[in-house]
């Protein structure tokens, strides 16, 4: 049954599927989360302080949980929408955000996969997770054999890289777990390209990300105004940042996947900043409703657009 479910997941459009039990997250990862929160590395993302018990135990999200089906879908664009990097009238959008909202797309696929399981047990119960549910997805994905955690703190699959949307089904339907992704040596070796490439210095040894220094956090999640020092890190990143991902050797060798149902053309990869500064709420809704950019809101996008324009001289100097 396990391989049948895995094959159906691939047929539905997922690129990876693995299985693990619903036991709590290991002590090492639990302690790392506790220390990360204690040190304030989550910045203004106060929601991460809530439901910590649920993040550490899938069974807290579904009583009687026995299995977590971990799934991943590559979002590495097959054809890059390149623009002149020196065009200071434009700001770059992170690759994941040029698609329509992945939450809705993936959740629909999870529903379809659950229907497959119900053919074996119509009483099976499920909890569907797509990024917005309190769950340590990457730790579970590693446990299910989907990949390893890189020095950029992302889940990396040796063939598909780290541009992966993650999703899970927690179920009381028992399925034999896969072997976790374990190697004798660090898959990253001595490479530290991602750490050196991070414009904010957010990555450190020990696979730790300080969100307060991360450009993705600064351009999406941070609600208070950016300080001058934070603004200087943005360069041309309008929404999110892919630098620690794209410089990774695994990512540069990664395969691309083409899915006609889910194409990277909902949002332009480079956004005209002057147009954003003139946007009304109506313009914003027309352009970005149903996309990841909707999360930031118009005022945040205007703040970032203004910062990029203001610091254009610094960019000309090598930003």
Catalytic residue set = 131
Tell me which residue has tokens 């750490």. Answer: 195
Tell me the helix, strand and coil percentages in the chain, rounded to 5. 40, 15, 45
Residue 305 and residue 234 in contact, taking contact as beta carbons nearer than 8 Å: no
Phi, psi (5° rounding) for residue 247?
A: -85, -10
- DSSP code of 291? B
What are the φ/ψ torsions at residue 204 (nearest 5 degrees)?
-140, 170
Whether the Cβ atoms of residue 248 and residue 150 lie closer than 8 Å to each other: yes
What tokens were used for 168?
């899970």
Contact 203, 191 (CB under 8 A): no
Q: Cα separation of 65 and 82, whole Å? A: 45
Quick count: other Cβ atoms within 10 Å of Cβ 97? 25
Report whether 59 contacts 65 (CB < 8 A). Answer: yes
- Planar angle of CA 44, 50, 54, nearest 5 degrees: 135
Q: Of the candidates 41, 8, 60, which has an alpha carbon nearest to the alpha carbon of residue 203?
A: 41
- Alpha-carbon distance of 314 to 317, in angstroms, equals 5
Dihedral angle sign, alpha carbons of residues 251, 248, 149, 137: negative
Which candidate, 302, 242, 270, 265, places its Cα nearest to that of 87? 270
């Amino acid at each position: 049954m396990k391989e049948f479910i895995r094959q159906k997941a691939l047929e539905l459009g997922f690129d990876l599927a693995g299985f693990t039990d619903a036991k709590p997250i290991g002590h090492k990862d639990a302690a790392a989360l506790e220390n990360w929160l204690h040190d304030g590395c989550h910045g203004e993302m106060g929601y991460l302080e809530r439901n910590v018990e649920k993040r550490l135990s899938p069974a807290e999200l579904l009583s009687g949980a026995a299995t977590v089906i971990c799934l991943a879908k590559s979002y590495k664009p097959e054809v890059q929408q390149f623009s002149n990097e020196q065009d200071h009238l434009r700001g770059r959008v992170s690759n994941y955000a040029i698609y329509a909202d992945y939450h809705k797309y993936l959740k629909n696929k999870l529903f379809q996969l659950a229907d497959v399981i119900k053919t074996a047990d119509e009483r099976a119960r499920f909890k569907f997770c797509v990024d917005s549910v309190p769950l340590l997805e990457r730790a579970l994905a590693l446990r299910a054999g989907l990949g390893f955690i890189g020095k950029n703190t992302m889940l990396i699959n040796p063939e598909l890289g780290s541009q992966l949307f993650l999703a899970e089904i927690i179920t009381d339907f028992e399925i034999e777990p896969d072997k976790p992704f374990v190697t004798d040596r660090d898959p990253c070796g001595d490479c530290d390209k991602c750490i050196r490439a991070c414009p904010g210095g957010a990555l450190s040894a020990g696979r730790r990300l300080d969100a307060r220094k991360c450009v993705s956090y600064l351009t999406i999640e941070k609600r208070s105004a950016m300080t001058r020092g934070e603004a200087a890190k943005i360069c041309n990143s309008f929404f999110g940042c892919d630098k620690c991902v794209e410089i990774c050797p695994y990512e540069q060798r990664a395969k691309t996947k083409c899915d006609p149902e889910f194409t990277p053309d909902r949002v332009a990869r480079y956004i005209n900043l002057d147009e954003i500064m003139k946007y009304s709420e109506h313009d914003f809704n027309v352009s970005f409703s149903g996309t990841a950019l909707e999360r930031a809101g118009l005022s945040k996008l205007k703040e970032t657009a203004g910062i990029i324009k203001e610091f254009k001289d610094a960019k000309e100097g090598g930003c």
